Amino acid sequence: MRPLAAAANANDAVQDDEAELLRRRDLLSLPLGARLGRARSPHTPPEDLQALFEDAEGRRALLSEGRPGAREYAEQLAEALAGNPNTPPKLLAPLATLYPDAFCQNPVAPLLVLEEPEFATWLRSEQLPTLLRRADLPAPLVIALAGQAADAEVREEARLHVAFPHEEGGDWRGEARDILRTRAALESSGDAPASNAPLLLRMAALGLAPEWLLPEPPDPARLDALRPPARQRPGLRRAVLAQALAERRKGGSRSSPVTRCFALAHRTRTAAEVRAAADEPAWTARLGAALNPRLPSLPEVRERLSEDGNRLVCAAALDAPASL
């Protein structure tokens, strides 16, 4: 390239950069309400949406300087961006799990994995169970999560989503039994003495969990050894149920969702406990709520669970008060 031509091109590039800086300055000098309007408009260019987000995050940092309005503005703008079809995919990924309502209504959501095949791997893994609760999560993304999610339990939950290809009208109880039994195998193995018996085996001995969950038929003598005299059973049942409910908080074994599921399904759970379980990210906890005999008396909870993204939870709620 000739020197004069190279100089001309460099000058054009400088002018373009200056024009972009001026345009960005004009954008960020707008009142906050006008910026929110731009964030919601599908006609706003992706680079402007990125600039608005970066500015809002900077304003959020001003909280320590006595600017509490920055938090509300940043939240509103981020939610608007989650629903804007022009938001760049790299920016949309962290917003999708934070604002699932807006994201699932975004018209580009079903197309993201076609535009960016790795989009599912960009989502925050710790928030995926909450996102998978939504029945309106786009099927292409559900299928991508079933194959690409780093966490095996997330992949399993994606395969259980109502949008994942499956046989309509299948035996949901049989499918639930297979999954729970596989998980239960981790907890019910071993030959520990009765005082240290796996929690699920103790629940089965006390009639708090079905024996079919155990990977092999249990030794009747061992079950008998775990059954105390009749007068002691009510107190022991309460203690075992409390232990099963505490497993999640203690960060117990991987199979603890199974014992928690049946503890939440037990008739002694209060209405408040069933409502709380229906809002948990873990689908096994929501399944316990759907199987609880109190569910028919909690129509708002039953309706919510019948619209759950997990097809087993949905089926259990629609069949209430049926149990496994």
- Greatest distance between any 2 Cα atoms in the chain: 100
Lowest average pLDDT, out of 149-163, 239-253, 260-274, 290-304, goes to 239-253
Q: Do 255 and 200 meet the contact criterion of CB atoms below 8 Å apart?
A: yes
Write the pLDDT tens digit of every residue in 239-284.
888 888 875 444 444 447 888 898 999 988 999 999 999 999 999 9
User: Alpha-carbon distance 104 to 97, whole Å?
Assistant: 10
Provide CB contacts within 8 A for 256, sequence distance 6+: 187, 199, 244, 247, 248
User: Distance between the two ends of the chain, CA-based, in angstroms?
Assistant: 77
Write the pLDDT tens digit of every residue in 89-147.
999 999 999 999 999 999 999 999 999 999 999 999 889 999 999 999 999 999 999 99
- 52: nearest Cα among 89, 13, 91: 91
Q: Do 206 and 236 meet the contact criterion of CB atoms below 8 Å apart?
A: yes
